[in-house]
Each structure stands twice: as structure tokens, then as C-alpha cells.
Amino acid sequence: MRLPILTSFATTAALLVSACGSSPATGQAADPAPVSSRCNAAPAQFAVGRNADAALENEARTRAGAKAVRVLRPNQVVTMEFNAERLNLTVDDAGRVTRVSCG
């Protein structure tokens, strides 16, 4: 009684595993290399001394080539994980950018 169930299970598992290992057909090009969205803070340094608002955040993010931007306010709790695609704008109590960095 158990043998047909185990055989069926083994066959299903083998089919699932083999489906995961497929490769492109001969003659097809592999996926192109992904476009880098790594942040470069240097072009966004223009923001230092300016008030952080949505327009400034967007322009700084675009110039830095970052996918995301976050504004870091004084005494704000933030995550410390590094994200090479994120631009950080550190602001003072008045909302003026004091530092531009990636991560």
C-alpha cells in the first residue's frame, strides 16, 4: 500500500527538481547584465546646505544614480544595514542637509 504513494511522491519530487534546472536553449542569448543603480554621493553634494523637500530628494537621488533616498533627521531611529542603491540625506533640526552619503 505504501509503495505506490512513495513512488508517486518520488516522481513528483524529481519532476519539480528537474524543472528548476532548465537553461536557455542553444542559440539564445543569456539575460543582459543588469544596469547598475549603485549610489554615487559625489554628484549629490550640491544638496548640502539646502532645505530637504521632495524636489531636492528626487534631484539628489537622480544625480546620485540611486534607486532610493531617505532623509535622516536628528535623533531618528534608523536601520543600520548598508544598501548600495540608497542615498542618505542627513539633515539638522531646521531640515537643512548637512551630509550626503550612500548606504
Q: What is the 3-state secondary structure (H, E, C) of the chain?
A: CHHHHHHHHHHHHHHHHHHHCCCCCCCCCCCCCCCCCCCCCHHHHHHCCCECCHHHHHHHHHHHCCCEEEEECCCCCCCCCCCCCEEEEEECCCCEEEEEEEC
* Alpha-carbon span 59 to 15, nearest angstrom: 50
CATH number assigned to the domain comprising residue 78:
3.30.10.10
11 occurs within a structural domain: no
Per-residue model confidence (pLDDT) at position 99:
98
Are the C-beta atoms of residues 96 and 50 closer than 8 Å to each other? yes
pLDDT mean for each 10 residues of the chain (103 residues): 53 50 49 66 98 98 97 94 96 98 96
62 occurs within a structural domain: yes
pTM of the entire predicted model: 0.65
2 occurs within a structural domain: no
Are the C-beta atoms of residues 52 and 96 closer than 8 Å to each other? yes
Q: For the chain, how many structural domains are there in total?
A: 1
